[in-house]
Amino acid sequence: MGTPLLTVEDLSISFPGDGAHRVTVVDRVGFSISAGETLALVGESGCGKSMSALAIMRLVPKPGRIEPGARIAFEGRDLLTLPVPEMRSVRGARIGMIFQEPMTSLNPVTTVGSQVSEAIELHANISGEAARNRVLELFSLVGIPDPKSRYAAYPHQLSGGLKQRVMIAMAMAMRPKLLIADEPTTALDATIRAQILELLRDLSAKTGTAVLLITHDFGVVNEVADRVAVMYAGRIVEEGTRVELLGAPRHPYTQGLLRSIPKPEARGKRLEEIKGAVPRPGHWPQGCRFHPRCSSAFAPCATEEPARTVVSATQSARCHLVAKVVGEARP
């Protein structure tokens, strides 16, 4: 695999709470992505997955802050200590980002062509006709039909699927090494979602761009991810390849999530549910944060935070039960 393209270590993010107290929303998160690889960061709302992605771009909204001790290494440089102008050239040029709502990310009063062209002129030393040609080339790369006429279209004249394609074109404009996609298909219809997922898969294969995919949908994970990290209450609780996590999940939370998805063979039977609700930041339980909802919790779970247990060369989980089982298997 060589050196990873991106390595995140000990990333913690906090927001001001009552008085001097700060509320942690992301807690000592670490992961890495190799060139050309797609890593999915999965979890339910409020688990910290989007905030972790924003931290890579150094776009954590104020008054939130990244706690000291974190390191985000990208192409051999620590992004957290980079001077602002250099960070600006990383953003957009080396790392592209797309969001859930393409409607709110585009300027409604400028044509989509000139918006993408502007993004190119900002980072590359080209303008005018050359920039326009590059935009048209990008529009066909992302499968926008009839690029010439779409160049002059305003965002409201395009459907949701086309707007998302424009956003992807803009994010891919400078041939970034990493694309961060935050719930890129959540707001799209089923038939359009299938098109965009295929596009993301193709783009990554064609351009070698690595993708960090933020999603809550295991179906989407299965379609595009190579590796998966599952987040719960600010922490990564399990990590592994797509086949490992979907085929043989070890953490009770991952198992519960997968079982609670309505499946055809479950027709007429009760769905397995995870009892209770996701705890909000600031109200995380002691010990393993999942223990009050876990049906296999035992003695240490309520008091001790579980360490990371290595299950295979690629799979690991933060769970006392997994540690016990793996420990017993290795005499």
Partner 1 sequence: MTVLSADALLEIRDLKTWFPIRTGVLKRVSGHVRAVDGVDLTIFPGETLALVGESGCGKTTVGRAILRLLEPTGGNVWFRGQNLTGLSLEAFHPYRRQIQVVMQDPGSALDPRHTVRDCIAEGMDAFEIGAGYEDRTRRVAELMGKVSLDPETMWRYPHEFSGGQRQRICIARALALDPALLICDEATSALDVSIQAQILNLLADLQAERRLTYLFITHDLGTVRYFATRVAVMYLGRIVETGPTERIFTDPRHPYTKALLASIPSLDPARRSTRPVALGDVPSPERPPPGCHYHPRCSVRLESCASVDPPVIAFADGVCRCVLAAK
Q: Report the interface residues with partner 1, using CB under 8 A.
A: 44-45, 145, 159-162, 189-195, 197-198, 216-220, 222-223, 242-243, 246-247, 256-258, 260-264, 266-267, 270-275, 277-278
As measured in angstroms, the least distance from the Cβ of 49 to partner 1 is 12
111 vs 222 by CB, closer to partner 1: 222
Nearer to partner 1, 80 or 243 (CB): 243
CA distance 331 to 326: 9
Nearer to partner 1, 83 or 108 (CB): 108
Nearer to partner 1, 216 or 308 (CB): 216
Q: Which residues pair with 179 in a beta bridge?
A: 96, 211
In angstroms, rounded to a whole number, what is the distance separating the alpha carbons of residues 87 and 263? 45
As given in the structure block, the two tokens for residue 175 are: 């041939």
Instruction: Please state the closest distance from residue 288 (CB atom) to partner 1, in A.
Output: 16
Of the pair 175, 283, the CB lying nearest partner 1 is at: 283
- Sequence-separated (6 or more) residues with CB below 8 Å from residue 301: 287, 288, 291, 294, 320
Beta carbon nearer to partner 1, 61 or 268: 268
**Smallest distance from partner 1 to CB 110, Å:** 22
Least Å distance, CB 124 to partner 1, is 30
Which residue lies nearer to partner 1 by CB, 277 or 313?
277
Least Å distance between CB 241 and partner 1?
Answer: 9
CA pair distance 73, 30, nearest whole angstrom: 11
Nearest-approach distance from CB 254 to partner 1, in angstroms: 11
Shortest gap between Cβ of 71 and partner 1 (angstroms)? 31
Instruction: Give whichever of 86 and 189 is closer to partner 1, judged by the CB atom.
Output: 189
Q: Supply the minimum distance, in Å, between the C-beta of residue 243 and partner 1.
A: 4
Q: Which is nearer to partner 1, 118 or 217 (CB)?
A: 217
Q: How far is the CB of 218 from partner 1 (least distance, A)?
A: 6
SS3 labels along the chain: CCCCCEEEEEEEEEEECCCCCEEEEEEEEEEEECCCCEEEEECCCCCCHHHHHHHHCCCCCCCCEECCCCEEEECCEEHHHCCHHHHHHHECCCEEEECCCHHHHCCCCCCHHHHHHHHHHHHCCCCHHHHHHHHHHHHHHCCCCCHHHHHCCCHHHCCHHHHHHHHHHHHHCCCCCEEEEECCCCCCCHHHHHHHHHHHHHHHHHHCCEEEEEECCHHHHHHHCCEEEEEECCEEEEEEEHHHHHHCCCCHHHHHHHHHCCCHHHCCCCCCCCCCCCCCCCCCCCCCCCHHHCCCCCHHHHCCCCCEEECCCCCEEECHHHHHHHHHHCC
CA gap 248, 182 in Å, rounded = 26
